[in-house]
Amino acid sequence: MAKLVLGCIADDFTGATDLANNLVRAGMRVVQTIGVPEGPLDADVDAVVVALKSRTIAPAEAIAQSLDALRWLQAQGAQQIYFKYCSTFDSTAQGNIGPVTEALMEALGCDFTIATPAFPDNKRTVFKGYLFAGDVLLNESGMQNHPLTPMTDPNLVRVLQAQCTRKVGLIDHAVVARGAEAIEARIAQLKAEGVSIAIVDAVSNDDLLRMGPALAKLPLLTAGSGVAIGLPANFGLAPSSQASALPKAGGKTAIVSGSCSLATNRQVLDFIQRGGAAMAIDPLRIAAGVDVAAEVLAWAAPRIDQGSVLVYSTAEAGAVKSVQGRLGVEEAGAMVERTIAAIARGLVERGVRQLVVAGGETSGACVQALGIAQMQIGPQIDPGVPWCHARSDAAPEAGLHITLKSGNFGSDDFFTKAFTVLA
Ligand X SMILES: O=C(O)[C@@H](O)C(=O)CO
Residues that bind ligand ATP (CB under 6 A): 14, 258-261, 264, 283, 313, 315, 320, 323-324, 332-333, 336-337, 359-362, 406-408
Q: Decide which of ligand ATP, ligand X, none touches 384; Cβ closer than 5 to 8 Å per partner kind.
A: ligand X
Q: Which does 22 bind (CB under 5 to 8 A by kind): ligand X, ligand ATP, none?
A: none
Question: Taking CB under 6 A as the rule, does residue 14 contact ligand X?
Answer: yes
Among 54, 87, 267, 363, binds ligand X (CB under 6 A): 87
> What does 224 interact with, of ligand X, ligand ATP, none (CB < 5 to 8 A by kind)?
ligand X
CA 379/CA 387 separation, integer angstroms: 6
Closest CA to 69 of 5, 2, 21, 10: 10
- Residue showing the smallest CB distance to ligand X in the complex: 15
Q: Residue 370: which of ligand X, ligand ATP, none does it interact with, CB under 5 to 8 A by kind?
A: none
362 touching ligand X, by CB under 6 A: no
- Least distance CB 12 / ligand X (angstroms): 5
Alpha-carbon torsion, ordered 237, 25, 246, 65, to 10 deg: 90
Q: How far is the CB of 117 from ligand X (least distance, A)?
A: 7
- Is residue 380 classed as helix, strand or coil in its secondary structure? strand
- CA-CA distances (angstroms) from residue 63 to 101, 164, 201, 280? 9, 13, 26, 38
Helix (H, G, I), strand (E, B) or coil at 202: strand
Is 12 one of the binding residues for ligand X (CB under 6 A)?
A: yes
Give residue 74's region: left, alpha or beta (phi > 0; psi -120 to 50). alpha
Residue 86 binds: one of ligand X, ligand ATP, none (C-beta under 5 to 8 A by kind): ligand X
Contacted by 261, from ligand ATP, ligand X, none: CB < 5 to 8 Å by type: ligand ATP
Whether the CB-CB separation of 48 and 69 falls below 8 Å is answered with no
**Residue 11: burial class (beta carbons within 10 Å; 0-12, 13-18, 19+):** buried
Task: Decide which of ligand X, ligand ATP, none touches 257; Cβ closer than 5 to 8 Å per partner kind.
Answer: none
Return the SS3 of 44: coil
Rounded to a whole number of angstroms, the minimum distance from the CB of residue 24 to ligand ATP is 19
Of 363-422, binders to ligand X (CB under 6 A) are 384, 406
Cα–Cα distance between 100 and 222 in angstroms, integer?
Answer: 10
Q: Sort residue 352 into left (φ over 0), alpha (ψ -120 to 50) or beta.
A: beta
Instruction: For the CB of residue 415, give the shortest distance to ligand X in the complex, in Å.
Output: 18
Residues β-bridged to residue 309:
254, 277
Q: In whole angstroms, how close is the CB of 385 to ligand ATP at the nearest point?
A: 10
**Contacts to ligand X by CB under 6 A:** 12, 14-15, 18, 86-88, 119, 224-225, 360, 384, 406
